[in-house]
Amino acid sequence: MITVALSKGRLFDDFVSYLEKYELYKYSKVLKDESRALYTIVDDIRFIFAKGPDVPVYVERGVADIGIVGSDILEEEVFSYLNVSGLPFGKCHFAIAGPPDVEHFNTVASKYTNIARKYFNDQQQPVSLIHLNGSVELAPILGLADGIVDIVQTGNTLRDNGLIEYEKILDVQARLIANKQTFYTKEDSIYEFLSEIGVIE
């Protein structure tokens, strides 16, 4: 048996849609039915459902053999894993956003302060960063920050809150990662599954 760690939320929905697109209903039906459980098993594949930032932790520690996670998580923190491949779903991007007519960003709020810090350092632009876990769009609305660095998919949330995108700074997509040991000790089983879902040929 191999264990696959899946991110809850938008990326999970994208993965299920990907499976349905290629008529892999054996997996998609069970995943949709069991989406509120902590894990489910299909044949010899155990799927565990975790918050995005926890997926690489499970993979790194060998609790999961492979994981599907957004590249935003991998960019924000340092983990030890095999970066197997990009996946054709979960695409969006990081952007700097704020109210209209901001001339200079002095204070920026973000859940992803490491990514934001790297970007502003590369631009040699000094800013004060505020780490928030919730809806960062509130920060400029309430005057806590001039702007935000956040993931943008459709831009609807920004528009709904009177914010605009100033600059795209980093592409994001789903990535397949693997544990450094079990990727080889369970190589045949892992490759069989990856081939079945069309990740490798």
In angstroms, rounded to a whole number, what is the distance separating the alpha carbons of residues 164 and 172? 19
Structural element, H or E, at residue 141: helix 138-141
Do residues 14 and 69 lie in contact, with contact meaning Cβ atoms separated by under 8 Å?
A: no
- Across the range 70-89, mean pLDDT stands at 95
Provide the β-strand partners of residue 148.
Answer: 97, 109
pLDDT at 199: 85
- What residue type is 186 in one-letter code? K
Provide the β-strand partners of residue 94.
Answer: 151, 170
Task: Flag whether pLDDT at 50 surpasses 60.
Answer: yes
Per residue in 100-144, pLDDT (tens digit) is 999 999 999 999 999 999 999 999 999 999 999 989 999 999 999
Residues 6 or more apart from 29 whose CB is under 8 A from it? none
pLDDT at 37: 80
Phi, psi of 118 (to 5 degrees): -60, -45
Per residue in 10-30, pLDDT (tens digit) is 999 999 999 999 999 999 999
- Across the range 85-94, mean pLDDT stands at 94
In angstroms, rounded to a whole number, what is the distance separating the alpha carbons of residues 65 and 52? 16
pLDDT at 125: 94
Chain centroid to CA 123: 24
pLDDT at 189: 96
Task: Flag whether pLDDT at 36 surpasses 80.
Answer: no
Residues 6 or more apart from 71 whose CB is under 8 A from it? 86, 171, 172, 173, 174, 175
pLDDT at 32: 87
What domains can you pick out in the chain, each with its CATH number? 2-90+173-196 (3.40.190.10), 92-172 (3.40.190.10)
Task: Flag whether pLDDT at 200 surpasses 90.
Answer: no
Q: What is the mean pLDDT of the chain?
A: 94
Planar angle of CA 98, 101, 103, nearest 5 degrees: 90
pLDDT at 33: 80
Task: Flag whether pLDDT at 34 surpasses 80.
Answer: no
Secondary structure class of 143 (helix, strand, coil): coil
